[in-house]
Structure 1
């Protein structure tokens, strides 16, 4: 069995262990990041959709940073949105603050009915920076 190369952001390992999943796994030059929501350190939802989206991106960026990446390394994004017809505009006004400049990653948006008390989740795949010879 292959040992998973797991990436944990600072200060949240206990939350992931409690919920029995890895925040991100390195494999074959890529970083596969679990869906991130706007959860506070105790795992509870941040109130308000815009604040929840911002915190989801902050939680995502903490994982990317722990792996030596930034959002510029992201090649694929999947968004999960509760009630996208009502929530899309609020979400999309926050995205430019985190998305960076073109060329942008690929994107799939999925409307869902439930996200464990959250309204927004973002899941990404990033290309890991290549190691430089020392």
Structure 2
């Protein structure tokens, strides 16, 4: 097995180590990003829904930037929403602030009953720039 090429955003490595997962892995020209939530620096949930979604995107964008990517490099998105029937529209209004112009990435939306105190999570796969380091 090859060594994982892990990408850590600035200032949050202890949080990921405490929870025993990698924020993102580079592999075969792609960046696989773990689900990002609207967590504060200490890992606690942001209570306001719109602010939580913005913080999830800020956390996602920090990981993408650490790998030399941006949201324009994202090819696949999975979102998890607690109670999507009531939260989808308010969440999607905020998502539009980050999504950019078409063409958009692929999307899978999943309604869930629990996200460890969060209401929204976003997980992506991005195409790494050709100049990025690629691991097997």
Q: TM-score, normalised by structure 1?
A: 0.97
Counterpart of 1:83 in structure 2 is 83
List aligned pairs for 1:1-134, cutoff 5 A: 1-131=1-131
Unaligned runs of 5+ in 2: none
CA distance in 2, matches of 1:2, 1:112: 34
Q: How many residues align?
A: 132
Aligned with 1:123: secondary structure?
strand
Unaligned runs of 5+ in 1: none
What is the root-mean-square deviation in Å for CA atoms of aligned residues?
0.8
CA distance in 2, matches of 1:131, 1:53: 31
Q: Which has the bigger relative contact order, CA under 8 A and spacing at least 6?
A: 2
What is the Cα deviation at residue 77 of structure 1?
A: 0.2
Aligned with 1:95: secondary structure?
helix
Q: TM-score, normalised by structure 2?
A: 0.96
